[in-house]
Structure 1
């Protein structure tokens, strides 16, 4: 059940549309929007790539947990998370506490297409086979996305407004 103070949190792999969908969903629902990755960049003043380079993935994941905790303390907002937010059990517990979690799923082909030109995806930067890297990441994370999700929306081949409408219909009143 969702109440007036519950947040709507979008999870899913990189390229699934969390930021685009979240920004528009927040407008439609008249809520504030936060992107956890953007908030980390704003707070640190450096790119996520830089954090990965200096602190490694573990350092970034610690910052991610801290930011998620802060965002979850704000009421009635829409949060887009980073693709790896579900890796840590602590984050999965935070996501399940007073949030309506939407898993934006996409086909591997669509994820490859959507991330093809991106230069700010540390886990794909050094990859010589982006498709295989995405498949490997999904293999690990898919069960975790499913675990935290209140609803799964497949975004493959869908327009932004169709996705927004599906999410709106799935939110318990």
Structure 2
């Protein structure tokens, strides 16, 4: 389901507020705006927001770059899977969870999200991703070469997984409010 209309009716917002019996899980590439948009979506529907990466860092008592450096990506992905499963299982109705860019590529994590949550794929073009990811120096996967090439390759590899999410929203370079409205509209249509 692709959402292009940015307006949300009072009926649609009421439908979301009354029909939320599972978490909303935002998936997509790094830099697409999952955390920024997720906080705003949670605020709009009056529920909590959790960033899975922050929960991973809290659980591991180290940063994600440190986890990658000390233990590798496979170790990180296993911890990520366990943290996301815990967040979903502990969710009591409405909560918005932002996942890391590779989380939905893990078969077990994807199956859990598809079964127990409302998955929303936030998508952006490569130029937007390059610009947004350049704002922070905490992206381990982008340290191994040209960020544009890496993002292009990762997006291509991950798109078949992301496309399994029933709600697809384009996150453009403009204000996040437009993306938030499209996410809410997509959820209302999905419910």
| TM-score, normalised relative to structure 1 | 0.94
Offset from partner CA, 1:119-143 (integer Å, 9 cap, x none):
110000222x110000110111011
Matched, 1:72 2:88: yes
Separation in structure 2 between the aligned mates of residue 86 and residue 7 of structure 1, nearest angstrom: 15
Matched, 1:90 2:108: yes
Higher Rg? 2
Aligned equivalent of 2:150: 133
Aligned equivalent of 1:164: 180
Gap regions ≥5 residues in structure 1: none
Matched, 1:145 2:162: yes
Q: RCO higher in 1 or 2 (8 Å CA, sep ≥ 6)?
A: 2
> How far does residue 158 in structure 1 lie from its aligned partner after superposition?
3.1
Task: Show the 5 A alignment for 1:4-83.
Answer: 4-73=20-89, 74-75=91-92, 76-83=94-101
Instruction: Tell me if structure 2 keeps the 8 A contact 1:12–1:105.
Output: yes
User: What is the SS of the residue equivalent to 1:97?
Assistant: helix
Offset from partner CA, 1:136-168 (integer Å, 9 cap, x none):
101110110001x12111112231111111111
Offset from partner CA, 1:91-112 (integer Å, 9 cap, x none):
1101101211111100001000
Separation in structure 2 between the aligned mates of residue 105 and residue 130 of structure 1, nearest angstrom: 17
User: What is the SS of the residue equivalent to 2:72?
Assistant: helix
Gap regions ≥5 residues in structure 2: 1-15
User: What is the SS of the residue equivalent to 2:121?
Assistant: strand
User: What is the SS of the residue equivalent to 1:126?
Assistant: coil
| TM-score, normalised relative to structure 2 | 0.85
Separation in structure 1 between the aligned mates of residue 29 and residue 129 of structure 2, nearest angstrom: 8
Offset from partner CA, 1:41-75 (integer Å, 9 cap, x none):
11222100000011100000000000010011112
